[in-house]
Structure 1
Amino acid sequence: MAKIQVNKLHTLTGHNDCIYALTEGSDPRFFYTGAGDGMVVEWDMDRPKDGKLIAKLPNSVYALEVDRERNLLFIGHNFEGIHVIDLNENKELWSLKLTDQAIFDIKVYGHLVLVATGDGVLIILDLENRAVKQHIKLSSKSIRVMSIAPVKKHLALGLSDHTIKILDLNASFEPIANLVGHTNSVFALGYSPDESILVSGARDAHLKFWNAEDYRLEENVVAHLFAINFLSFREDGKWLVTCSMDKSIKVWDPENYKLLKVIDKARNAGHGTSINKILWNTYNNQVVSVSDDRTISIWQIEEDLL
């Protein structure tokens, strides 16, 4: 088994409420956080202590997404809609009133923006026309998380009705599969970088590994004590991190479904409350985590070669 070395590099502060949203920039040296205080902040991996306020909104921000091609930041503004920030100019370009529901996730796919809402509707926007193109009602329960396999052109959605739905991005979002097995809301979802597996995590604390060819369940692991809030693959797909309401981060070998490391407050001066999002940064291979404790942690997680 790989021996994992963990170093906590930074603790960043500035948000005044629980931090719910986290995304990497077009330039992966930068990342963005959004919180219950309505603030959206840009952070620089080279100078992490210097956060820069990008937007201040009256409601909580659960969802952020960067359009790397156009260098735009999409902010999901709960009970309102989306705000679109030009990151070159640091100014708002436009906003759209979409829903009176919470917005839990946003993904950009080509010229489309996909918005996951609290009433189970997937809203599809045409970026060029800045207009709603389609509403797809998937459930009476929330869509909590999305993941895109760009080569397969598959969209996976995790829902509070305990299912994972797979839609075809080639064919007007036609359904491909409906995955059942979790016994509570699905909060965490991610395709491996080679798109061979889809990993899901839920409020039931289980981590499930699905074969992304036929969406057959390969493995089920009781992974945490409480809800799994998010997951992120390392860029090479060799490792995977999960974060949980149980205040821990766990490092996994996704090929062998094995736990490699537990990162927590006692052992690593980790977060003191629920960890809501986690990102394996592609700029320097460091891991960023955000929490209800209003802090951001930056971690170096690497193989101990000694």
Structure 2
Amino acid sequence: MSKIQVNKSHTLTGHNDCIYALTEGSDPRFFYTGAGDGMVVEWDLDQPKNGKLIARLPHSVYALAIDRERNLLIIGHNFEGIHAIDLSESKEIWNLKLTDQAIFDIKVFGTEILIGTGDGVMIVVDAEKRAIKKHIKLSTKSIRVMAIATGKKHLAIGLSDHSIKILDLANDYQPLASLVGHTNSVFALGYSPDEQCLVSGGRDAQMKFWDSEHYSLTENVVAHMYAINFLSFKDDGKYLASCSMDKSIKVWDAVDHKLLKVIDKARNAGHGTSINKVLWSSYSGEVVSISDDRTISIWQIEAENP
């Protein structure tokens, strides 16, 4: 088994509140963060110390998504709606008032922007017409996280009612499956790069592996001490990073689901509070993490083959 070496290359500061949102740019050299201070910041992995303010909003930002086709950053503005930032100009070009709820996640698929809200409604917006297409009520509880298998055209949605709903993007969001097994809110979801596996994590601190052919559970791992907030695959599909309210990041072998490394404050000068999101950069191969401690960490994670 590979031995994993971890080195923290940067700690980035600038946000004045807990950092909740993180996404990779259309150009993966850049990533974007959003926080409780309403600020959205662009960071450059080649010169990470110089964050650039992209937007400042009156309410918290929990969700960010990239519309690669139109080179837009879509910002979820809590209790309001979405703002679209043209990344080539670094300026807002349109916004849409959608909801009086928290916006926990946003995904872009083709010409559609999918917004998951605190009242269990997924709002589908036409990115070209800049208008609402439909509302899909999935639960009385919050939609917390979404993941797309682009090839399969499957949308997985993790909810605070403890379930995961699978919808068919090729067939007008028809339901394909409802996965039951978590005993609390589902906060983390990700398809493996080959789309053969869906991984989920939640407030119950369990990480579950589902085969995406039949959506049957293949393995359950007691992964953290407290809630799993997010997970991210390395783009070669070999490794998976999870982060938690227990202040740790864990690196897993994505194939055999074995724990390879724990990154925390004691061992690696990690975050001092809940880690809200992790992103395995497809540009640098580093892991970016954001936390309630208002900092961003960039981690070099190298596998040493025996």
Report TM bin, short chain: over 0.9
Matching residue of 2:186: 186
Counterparts of 1:60-71 in structure 2, within 5 Å, are 60-71=60-71
**Deviations 1:85-129, CA, capped at 9 Å, x for gaps:** 001111111000000000000000000000000000000001111
Matching residue of 2:288: 288
Return the offset for 1:240: 0.1
Equivalent AA in structure 2 for residue 288 of structure 1? V
**Deviations 1:31-90, CA, capped at 9 Å, x for gaps:** 000000000000000000000000000000000001112110000000000000001111
Matching residue of 1:98: 98
Equivalent AA in structure 1 for residue 185 of structure 2? S
**Deviations 1:126-176, CA, capped at 9 Å, x for gaps:** 111110001000000000000000110000000000000000001110000
CA gap 1:228/1:238 in 2 versus in 1, 3 angstroms: same
SS in 1 for 2:32: strand
SS in 2 for 1:170: helix
Counterparts of 1:216-295 in structure 2, within 5 Å, are 216-295=216-295
Q: What is the aligned residue count?
A: 306
How far apart, in 1, do the equivalents of 2:57 and 2:155 lie? 29
Matching residue of 1:123: 123
Counterparts of 1:207-222 in structure 2, within 5 Å, are 207-222=207-222
Are 1:41 and 2:56 an aligned pair?
A: no
Q: Which runs of no fewer than 5 residues in structure 1 stay unpaired?
A: none
Q: Which runs of no fewer than 5 residues in structure 2 stay unpaired?
A: none
Matching residue of 1:156: 156
Matching residue of 1:298: 298
How far apart, in 2, do the equivalents of 1:142 and 1:190 lie? 18
How far apart, in 2, do the equivalents of 1:230 and 1:198 lie? 13
Return the offset for 1:304: 2.0
SS in 2 for 1:22: strand
Give the TM-score normalised by structure 2.
0.99
Matching residue of 2:111: 111
SS in 1 for 2:175: strand
Q: Identity over the aligned pairs, expressed in percent?
A: 76
Matching residue of 2:168: 168
How far apart, in 1, do the equivalents of 2:24 and 2:71 lie? 11
Return the offset for 1:255: 1.2
Matching residue of 1:53: 53
Counterparts of 1:194-209 in structure 2, within 5 Å, are 194-209=194-209
How far apart, in 2, do the equivalents of 1:295 and 1:88 lie? 26
How far apart, in 1, do the equivalents of 2:154 and 2:55 lie? 32
SS in 1 for 2:16: coil
Matching residue of 1:136: 136
